[in-house]
Amino acid sequence: MSEATGGMLRARVILPFLLTGTIWGSTWLVITGQIGDVPAAWSVFYRFALATPALFLVAAIMKRRLKLTAREHRLAILVGLLQFSGNFLFVYHAELYVTSGIVAMMFGLLMVPNALLARIFLGERAHGGFVLGSAIAIVGVSFLLFHEWRANPEAGVIGGNVGLGIVLAMLGILAASIANVVQANPTGRAVPMVSLLAWAMVYGTVFDLGFAALTAGPPPFPTAWEYWAGIVYLALIGSVVTFPLHYNLVREIGAGRTAYNSILTISVAMSLSTLFEDYRWTWLTASGMGLAVLGMVLALRSKQS
């Protein structure tokens, strides 16, 4: 057994790996319960209004510095607007039109714009195997999206419900990808990750509040306990618990191997869509899922080499 494989099988690695992948896979379905009777923008705000102080508490417990320089605050503003506003606002609105598991599958392709932007701004090169694997994964996801559109022909192609959901999800992917790349610059590397995320969440939450007030009117206060239970789960479990675990995995086994938990995330999300959203499997969706996962594995293995 190689040292890398042994490292992947250590309890301190495999348990957080399974936990983060499973939790993030479940959040895609939980989001659907946040956007039915409450405007999506307000649900995003409520989530991060709760998560922000909790993440500061985590940073304090971990004894990470919370005082940032002016340059670091500017980076936190940018990351906050991209990650905790643009990304999540697009995702929540996308799930109004597209099955949660499909949106999760699309986000599995985040590695593609990450690689392109890292090549442009950080000078990082992608191997040929990464390009091939990414192409296979894109074909697989395209099969799934085609099935979504074919199952809802009245929605139209672009400008209709499914088409709009796909566009919104793609914009969310782009926002998240830019945030990933910009926080990897020298300024970002000098800041403890949990501290940068905490301050970014502050700025993102302030923007979310303004956006929700301007676009969705006064804040609603639903009485259903299920709604607030979902907010608590997404804020504390889906955001505060997983981020420290995720970045500890990056330190333990590297970003490349950590990225494999996207496969677990997708598997959980699609399973929950099948159970609770009545997602119907066909030869097209099954082959699309298979190609997407195969392509992601090939791409990640190549990037890791």
Residue 12, pLDDT > 80, answer: no
> Residues 293, 105: contact at Cβ < 8 Å?
no
Is the residue at 221 inside a domain? yes
DSSP letter string over 147-205? HHHHH-GGG-SSSSHHHHHHHHHHHHHHHHHHHHHHTTSHHHHTS-HHHHHHHHHHHHH
Is the residue at 2 inside a domain? no
Rounded to an integer, the average pLDDT of 123-135 is 77
What the block records as the tokens of 180 is: 């990933």
Q: Which residue has the higher pLDDT, 194 or 124?
A: 194
pLDDT score at 109: 82
Residue 3, pLDDT > 80, answer: no
* Whole-number average pLDDT of the chain: 84
- pLDDT above 90 coverage of the chain, percent: 39
Residue 155, pLDDT > 90, answer: no
pLDDT score at 159: 42
> Residues 244, 51: contact at Cβ < 8 Å?
no
CA angle, corner 129, sides to 123 and 132, nearest 5? 105
What the block records as the tokens of 237 is: 């479990």
Q: How many domains does the chain have?
A: 1
Is the residue at 5 inside a domain? no
Ranges 180-184, 240-244, 252-256, most confident: 240-244
Output Rg (C-alpha) for the chain, integer angstroms: 19
Is the residue at 231 inside a domain? yes
Rounded to an integer, the average pLDDT of 155-172 is 74
Is the residue at 3 inside a domain? no
For 53, 85, 94, 189, 294, the CA distances from 207, given in Å and listed in that order, are 16, 7, 19, 24, 38
Pick the closest to residue 110 from 22, 50, 169 (CA basis): 169
Pick the closest to residue 114 from 167, 169, 171, 179 (CA basis): 179
Residue 226, pLDDT > 70, answer: yes
Residue 20, pLDDT > 80, answer: yes
What the block records as the tokens of 221 is: 């206060």
User: Under the phi-then-psi rule, with left for phi > 0, alpha for psi from -120 to 50, and beta for the rest, what region is 136?
Assistant: alpha
Query: CA-CA distance, 30 to 20, in Å (whole number)?
Result: 15
Ranges 104-113, 170-179, 275-284, most confident: 170-179
Q: Provide the domain limits for residue 73.
A: 14-304
Is the residue at 87 inside a domain? yes
Is the residue at 145 inside a domain? yes
Backbone angles phi, psi at 127, to 5 degrees: -75, 160
CA angle, corner 293, sides to 111 and 162, nearest 5? 75
Residue 122, pLDDT > 90, answer: no
Residue 8, pLDDT > 70, answer: no
Is the residue at 60 inside a domain? yes
Contacts of 155 (CB under 8 A, 6+ apart): 97, 149, 161, 162, 163
Residue 158, pLDDT > 90, answer: no
